[in-house]
Structures are given as C-alpha cells and as structure tokens.
Amino acid sequence: MNNLKNDLFLKALKGEEVSRPPVWMMRQAGRYLPDFMKLKEKYDFFTRCRTPELATEITVMPIHQVGTDAAILFSDILVVPQAMNIEVEMKPGLGPWLPHPIRTQKDLDQVIVPNVYEELGYVFDAIKMTKQELTNEVPLIGFAGSPWTILCYCVQGQGSKNFDKAKELCFTQPAVAHRLLQKITDTTIAYLKGKVEAGVDAVQIFDSWGGMLAPTDYQEFSWNYIQQIIDALKVEIPVIAFGKGCWFALDSMAKSGAAALGVDWTCSPKNARYLSGGNITLQGNFDPSRLFSPPAEIKKMVKQMIDEFGKDKYIVNLGHGILPNIPVENAKAFVEAVKEYEFN
C-alpha cells in the first residue's frame, strides 16, 4: 500500500486503534467552496467531471482548504448511465435530467454494458493525476452509485421525492427491472475495478435512494446488487456501503464483507452500533444542516458524536452530502473539532 503521510482513514477502515478518528465529508469537493464556484461559472458540470485537470483541482481543494483526512474524487454517480448509452444532462435549478427514461424492454435493449476504459477513461486519468497532486498526503476515495439508486434516475428521468415510476417498474415489470439492475451492476464492478487499478485507496457505494424501499423490497432490488459489488471488490480494496435511510438493513450490511458502513443522521450512534452488531467500522452521521449552527456549537456536537460512537472503528462524516450554502468556516470547525478531539 502507499506510504501515506496520513493513514488514519485506512487504519479506521481496518478496525485498527487510532489516536483520533479520521474525518472527511461527503461532497466535500464542491459547491460550498468559493474557488469551486469560480470554476462552476466557467465550465459546465460534466465538463468538470470529464476534464482530469479540473476534477483533480476540485478534488484536492478541500484537503488544502478544510484539512480533511481523505480526498474523494470529484465526479458524479451518473457518469455510469452515460457510459451505458443513457443520455444524462445536468439542468441548472433542476439537477439530473434524462430525456429518454428506461421504462420498457425496448428501452432496455438500447442500454449497453460498456468498455469502461473507453467510456470512462477520463475518470481513471483524473485518479492518476489526483494521486500525483496529493503527493501521498491523504488517501483517495473512489465511488459509485448503487445499482438501485442509478435505476431510480434512469427510470424516473429526474430527481424525485418518492421515485414512484422507478418503483412502479420494479413491481409491474420485475424482469425488466432486474435486467437493468444487473447491467448497471456489471458496469459498476468493471468501473470500480478500473478505479482500483488507477490508484484509489478505498471505494464507497452511495445508495442514496435505498430508504425509498420497504425492507423486503430493499433486499431484492438494492442490497442483492450491492452485495455483488462488495463480493467483487472486497479482496482488492476496502469498500464502504452507505445507504441513506437504510438503518433497517445495517444487520445484513454488517455481514456483507464491507469494510465500513455509512449511517445517516436519523439513526443514533447507539442504535447504529447495536443494529450493525458492534464490530464493524461506522461512518457518519452529523446532520448536514447542523453545519449552519455557530462554529462553537458545531464543535461541541462533534465531540459528543465521537463520544457516542467511540474513537475506534469510526470515521467522522456527515449523514449525507454537505449543503452548498454552508459557510467554509463552519466546515472547518467540523474538521477541527475532530482534530482537537482527546479521548478521555
């Protein structure tokens, strides 16, 4: 492995004892940083994803400006459907927009399992460039959306409060849904293996919309596919599984071979430890909106959160991505609180 100057994050993933827990923030490479906003004005979203120099600059920004213990590659979960011959646009004020949603077997016939090196080579280039730029300061995390979460966008055609069309497809045409999920899974496994080859130190699977499903449906339409991804990668690299709203699955997630589980802010540290069996590394779970609180209050709450999770087998993070209008000094207070932590 790398001779990292700061390997706290990787130690926590292995469950080793640490002097303090590591800290990073989901979506830390982005929209709350003024320098990111300057780039945003110049280049559209997917240009930033597809230009290795820009992706690298954005990825490294929070390491120098906020001081997190790990970097996460600037990219998007929807580069995967783009590579699968599904058109994805990013519309200002609306977010993801897929003009041709997948709702029938005929639509599905157009969806390919691509050669990831041809279609997503720009991501691997960005990883190599970022690794050089980081000069072994901190580890680099690669990521992908869960197959279910990707399906949600592919079928709904845009973001949604309930992803009703995605669920309707699963419950009226389950064979089509499962074929689509399998194509996404096969692509994601190849994509994440490419990221490992390019040099990431860990990968995270984001199941942002897992909590939309009832527990039995979750097992069938989401977890079974995440499990395939974990099985394909766990020998090569630590895998973090994060299911938003999926506290009910922490039990099966803990037995999956994942190195760590992300927890959102609706589940208390005590419940998360209990539900996951108490042996696996947990990551989370500060409410992103709580970063609006005054810095002194943020620091107090972070200390309390670490006390409740315990310093070992724990990675400090938010319970979902950082919001765009968080003051940078509040993000810094979050990180500083962890670095100042002393275990009593």
β-strand partners of 317: 285
- Kindly report the backbone phi and psi dihedral angles of residue 71, in degrees, each rounded to the nearest multiple of 5, phi listed first: -105, 145
Is 27 marked within a binding site?
yes
* CB < 8 Å & 24+ apart, contacts of 265-274: 265/290, 265/318, 265/319, 265/320, 266/319, 268/308, 269/305, 269/308, 269/309, 270/308, 271/247, 272/247, 272/309, 273/309, 273/310
At position 274, the amino acid (one-letter code) is: Y
Q: State how far the Cα of 89 lies from the Cα of 66, in Å rounded to an integer.
A: 30
Is 252 marked within a binding site?
no
Of the candidates 257, 115, 104, 110, the residue with the CA atom closest to the CA atom of residue 186: 115
Is 178 marked within a binding site?
no
Is 46 marked within a binding site?
yes
Kind and range of the H or E element at 197? Answer: helix 174-198
β-strand partners of 206: 145, 242
182 burial via Cβ count (<10 Å: 0-12, 13-18, 19+) = middle
Cα 342 from chain centroid (whole Å): 28
Is 76 marked within a binding site?
yes
- The residue behind tokens 């539900």 is 275
Is 28 marked within a binding site?
yes
Is 242 marked within a binding site?
no
Q: State how far the Cα of 38 lies from the Cα of 22, in Å rounded to an integer.
A: 29
Is 289 marked within a binding site?
no
Tokens linked to 64: 């120098």
Of the candidates 141, 41, 153, 177, the residue with the CA atom closest to the CA atom of residue 97: 153
Residue numbers belonging to the annotated binding site: 27-31, 46, 76, 153, 208, 320
User: Which residues are known binding-site members for substrate?
Assistant: 27-31, 46, 76, 153, 208, 320
